[in-house]
């Protein structure tokens, strides 16, 4: 069979199955039955992205199938093949959505099935920073379970996000390979139609970050081709259905690598590579993915994919716990003469000398020296320690400063991992990532309890206190410049964050100090200086300098941006914001939802739905994405009255920001325990109940002017 015949036959087969499944569902449930995927604001995301039409019922699904049929032309031209591929993918989405009728939970561990919008938003930053350099879609059954595991491991150790479809999932289970979103290995489902769940991620990325208009299929495919670094690895034997799905992948710009020999080859798109151990290299080359290589001299792997790895008590060799015993982590700027480069010292017992399962002290001091080093960069480097130590396979790190907690797994210990290797990791990464400011770096790790107590109380805490004082005096007024960040332009081409001391980037990961350090490290990089010499309106936070900068950096897409208003020329959102706030008209206030919150808000929208109101680098007055820490800022929608407009937040978020928010409210308005006046999901998820609660509490927003 030719490639044409194969794709058409596969497409026809899937179409037939879909038609049957929809008819059967209508017979069973009636045509008005609702159909939807959970936790998405984009209906059936693939169909919506391609056609611009939202499907909500079985009757509409049937109409949609008729539209899909129009894509299934049978001329032997390339475009017909691609469109049949897309039609196959859409049919797969229809088959998959039927599994979710009546709130069913069709997938169970280890499989994920449909992925929520929030998952995609979370991927934004690691994708733009190259922390996740690509997305692999592995499909079918490997010749042996070991080959499957080796292939997955090869991608995992490069930080690539891996999705699995079909028998390969069982093969990994067979050899006890750990999977899960936290280690970037995501089994989607065992039916081939489950592949749509990763296509859905790619297409929603275009809607969320790229501001692609649903229904603009040409722009959509251009976006996925240029910006979504995905590729497919399909094990032989390929049947017609898989070949038809492959045509869909190629239409989106994702090359397919297979070991099936008799398949027609399409240069750079459909590639036969018999040797599976070469798939990694072949795939990266075909998709033009570059991997940053970090060679660190430690006995276990080091890769960003291990950042989310969790080590349970039963799997741990030893732990260090700053909440129970004295611990600290510290970067200390010293004179070059005081630092011996690459010297790593352990003062106290090594892991071998510690009892199995014991809780110990640890304190590491990283001395750095460099002509361009500034004390302001110390906390920026220090905050990266969490990421560095977490990337070690079999080592887990949470917290910071003197409250960190580290676990070393039995597996890592058995592989020969020692305390001194933590020093090796810190040294290598600090030198790698901060080479523009750090010329010399030396690490001392204390495990001797008395030394840890001394370091914590006599060295670290006084430094932390000095830094906090400096941070408290860092206000928008006290600095001469702000910074831009355009990292997210990789996905949101016209988005610009303006980062100020009192307003961090909306992803929550870039503070003014971070931006300053990024600028110092890479003067032509994503963070540029924005002067603030020509204010237009200080209350709005508008400046001619800021307008000029965003106009230039957005290539003319934006003309005016204010720093402190959500109504007038608000800052744009890319899509990876930690929180979204939106106007609640009945109370003259705003509702804030964080990405982790899956429930309903009094706006009648979930986080995903609120989030879909903005993004892609466009301005949407009334809705604004922002970081969690911005909530307690004195500059939070200052132009509209500030934080006293906040009327509702999910309970968990409220607790997270309570201390700082209450302090700000006390300082600005003299209100004690402001968070007690703010509603949450245990109090109200509809506006009437919320207003009743706010009235009872005497919430200040009720007395303010309407915002619209």
Residues that bind Ni ion (CB under 5 A): 124, 334, 488, 574, 576
Q: Which does 497 bind (CB under 5 to 8 A by kind): ligand SF4, Ni ion, none?
A: ligand SF4
Between 95 and 488, name the residue whose CB sits nearer to Ni ion: 488
Stretch in the footprint of ligand SF4 (CB under 6 A) among 26-34, 466-474, 486-494, 636-644: 486-494
322 binds ligand SF4 (CB under 6 A): no
Q: Report phi then psi at 139, rounded to 5.
A: -135, 135
Instruction: State which of positions 544-583 bind ligand SF4 (CB under 6 A).
Output: 574, 576
Nearest distance in Å: CB 252, Ni ion: 21
Nearest distance in Å: CB 382, ligand SF4: 19
Between 389 and 496, name the residue whose CB sits nearer to Ni ion: 496
Give the Cα separation of 142 and 121 in Å (integer): 31
Between 55 and 574, name the residue whose CB sits nearer to ligand SF4: 574
Nearest distance in Å: CB 486, ligand SF4: 6
Q: Which does 509 bind (CB under 5 to 8 A by kind): ligand SF4, Ni ion, none?
A: ligand SF4
Length of the chain: 708
Nearest distance in Å: CB 124, ligand SF4: 7
Stretch in the footprint of ligand SF4 (CB under 6 A) among 24-32, 215-223, 498-506, 559-567: 498-506
Nearest distance in Å: CB 205, ligand SF4: 14
Tell me if the bond preceding 110 is cis, omega within 30° of 0. yes
| Number of neighbouring beta carbons within 10 Å of residue 78 | 14
Nearest distance in Å: CB 652, Ni ion: 22
> Which of 17, 21, 509, 683 touches ligand SF4 (CB under 6 A)?
509
Residue carrying the six token digits 């892609």 = 616
Give yes or no for a contact between 220 and 234, defined as CB atoms under 8 angstroms apart: no
Nearest distance in Å: CB 508, ligand SF4: 8
> Which of 135, 362, 426, 488 touches ligand SF4 (CB under 6 A)?
488
| Number of neighbouring beta carbons within 10 Å of residue 390 | 17
648-662 exposure pattern, b = at least 16 Cβ within 10 A, e = fewer:
bbbbebbebbbeebb
Binding mask 440-479 for ligand SF4 (x = CB under 6 A): ----------------------------------------
395 binds ligand SF4 (CB under 6 A): no
> Which of 168, 263, 485, 653 touches ligand SF4 (CB under 6 A)?
485
Q: Report phi then psi at 651, rounded to 5.
A: -55, -45
Nearest distance in Å: CB 13, ligand SF4: 43
Q: What is the DSSP letter of 191?
A: S
Distances 614 to 205, 213, 216, 505, 611 between C-alpha atoms, Å: 13, 13, 18, 16, 6
Nearest distance in Å: CB 84, ligand SF4: 37
Give the Cα separation of 652 and 328 in Å (integer): 27
Pull the structure tokens for residue 469: 């004082």
Between 81 and 228, name the residue whose CB sits nearer to Ni ion: 228
125 binds ligand SF4 (CB under 6 A): yes
> Which of 168, 244, 368, 510 touches ligand SF4 (CB under 6 A)?
510
Residue facing ligand SF4 at closest CB distance? 505
The Cβ-side half-sphere exposure at 26, using a 13 Å CA radius, reads: 15
Q: Which does 118 bind (CB under 5 to 8 A by kind): Ni ion, ligand SF4, none?
A: none
Sheet containing 440-446: order of strands: 328-333, 363-369, 440-446, 344-347
Strand 646-648 vs strand 589-594: parallel, antiparallel, or unpaired? parallel
Q: Which does 334 bind (CB under 5 to 8 A by kind): Ni ion, ligand SF4, none?
A: Ni ion
Pull the structure tokens for residue 41: 């604001």
> Which of 159, 322, 505, 641 touches ligand SF4 (CB under 6 A)?
505
484-507 exposure pattern, b = at least 16 Cβ within 10 A, e = fewer:
bbbbbbbbbbbbbbbbbbbbbbbb
SS (H, E, C) 468-524: HHHHHHCCCCCCCEEEEECHHHHCCCCCCEEEECCECCCCCCCCHHHHHHHHHHCCC
Nearest distance in Å: CB 506, ligand SF4: 5
Task: Point out which residues bind ligand SF4 (CB under 6 A).
Answer: 125, 485-488, 497, 499, 505-507, 509-510, 574, 576
């Amino acid at each position: 069979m030719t490639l044409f015949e194969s794709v058409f036959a596969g497409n026809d087969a899937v179409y037939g199955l879909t038609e049957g499944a929809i008819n059967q569902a209508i017979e069973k449930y009636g045509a008005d039955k609702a159909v939807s995927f959970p936790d998405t604001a984009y209906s059936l995301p693939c169909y919506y992205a391609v056609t611009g039409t939202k499907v909500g019922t079985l009757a509409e699904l049937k109409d949609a199938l008729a539209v899909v049929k129009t894509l299934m032309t049978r001329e032997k031209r390339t475009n017909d093949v691609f469109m049949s591929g897309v039609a196959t993918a859409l049919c797969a989405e229809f088959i998959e959505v039927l599994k979710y009728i009546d709130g069913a939970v069709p997938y169970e561990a280890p499989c994920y099935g449909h992925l929520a919008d929030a998952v995609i938003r979370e991927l934004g930053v690691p994708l733009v920073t190259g922390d996740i350099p690509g997305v692999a879609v592995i499909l079918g059954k490997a010749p042996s379970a070991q080959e499957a595991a080796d292939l997955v491991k090869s991608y995992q150790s490069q930080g690539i996000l891996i999705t699995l479809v079909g028998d390969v999932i069982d093969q990994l289970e067979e050899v006890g390979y750990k999977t899960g979103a936290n280690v970037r290995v995501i089994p989607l489902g065992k039916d081939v139609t489950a592949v749509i769940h990763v296509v859905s991620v790619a297409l929603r990325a275009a809607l969320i970050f790229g501001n692609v208009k649903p229904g603009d299929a040409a722009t959509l495919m251009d976006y996925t081709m240029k910006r979504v670094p995905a590729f497919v690895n399909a094990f032989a034997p390929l049947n017609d259905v898989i070949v038809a799905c492959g045509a869909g992948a190629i239409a989106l710009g994702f090359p397919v690598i297979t070991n099936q020999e008799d398949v027609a080859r399409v240069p750079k798109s459909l590639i036969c590579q018999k040797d599976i151990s070469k798939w990694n290299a072949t795939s990266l080359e075909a998709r033009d993915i570059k991997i940053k290589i970090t060679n660190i001299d430690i006995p276990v792997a080091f890769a960003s994919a291990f950042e989310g790895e969790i080590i349970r008590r039963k799997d741990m060799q030893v732990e260090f716990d700053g909440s129970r015993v004295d611990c600290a982590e510290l970067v200390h700027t010293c004179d070059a003469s005081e630092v011996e480069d690459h010297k790593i010292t352990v003062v106290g017992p090594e892991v071998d000398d510690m009892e199995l399962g014991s809780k110990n002290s640890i304190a590491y001091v990283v001395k750095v020296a460099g002509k361009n080093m500034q004390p302001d960069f110390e906390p920026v480097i220090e905050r990266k320690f969490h990421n560095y130590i977490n990337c070690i396979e079999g080592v887990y790190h949470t917290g910071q400063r003197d409250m960190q907690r580290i676990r070393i797994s039995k597996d890592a210990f058995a592989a020969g991992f020692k305390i001194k290797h933590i020093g090796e990791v810190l040294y290598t990464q600090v030198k790698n990532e901060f080479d523009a400011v750090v010329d010399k770096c030396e690490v001392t790790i204390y495990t001797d309890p008395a030394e840890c107590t001394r370091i914590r109380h006599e060295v670290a805490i006084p430094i932390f206190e000095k830094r906090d004082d400096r941070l408290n005096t860092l206000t928008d007024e006290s600095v001469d410049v702000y910074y831009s960040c355009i990292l997210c332009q990789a996905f949101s081409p016209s988005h610009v964050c303006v980062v100020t001391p009192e307003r961090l980037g909306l992803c929550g990961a870039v503070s003014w100090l971070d931006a300053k350090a990024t600028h110092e490290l890479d003067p032509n990089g994503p963070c540029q200086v924005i002067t603030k010499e020509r204010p237009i309106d200080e209350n709005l936070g508008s400046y001619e300098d800021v307008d000029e900068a965003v106009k230039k950096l957005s290539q003319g897409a934006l003309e005016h941006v204010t720093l402190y208003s959500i109504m007038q020329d608000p800052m744009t959102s890319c899509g990876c914001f930690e929180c979204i706030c939106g106007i609640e008209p009945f109370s003259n206030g705003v509702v804030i939802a964080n990405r982790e919150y899956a429930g309903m808000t009094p706006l009648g929208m979930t986080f995903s739905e609120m989030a879909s109101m903005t993004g892609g680098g466009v301005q949407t007055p009334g809705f604004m994405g922002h970081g969690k820490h911005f909530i307690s800022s004195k500059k939070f929608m200052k132009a509209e009255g500030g934080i006293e407009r906040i009327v509702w937040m999910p309970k968990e978020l409220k607790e997270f920001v309570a201390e700082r928010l209450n302090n700000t409210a006390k300082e600005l308005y003299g209100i004690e325990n402001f968070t007690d006046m703010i509603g949450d999901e245990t109090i109200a998820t509809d506006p009437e109940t919320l207003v009743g609660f706010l009235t009872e509490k005497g919430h200040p927003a009720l007395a303010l002017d309407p915002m619209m």
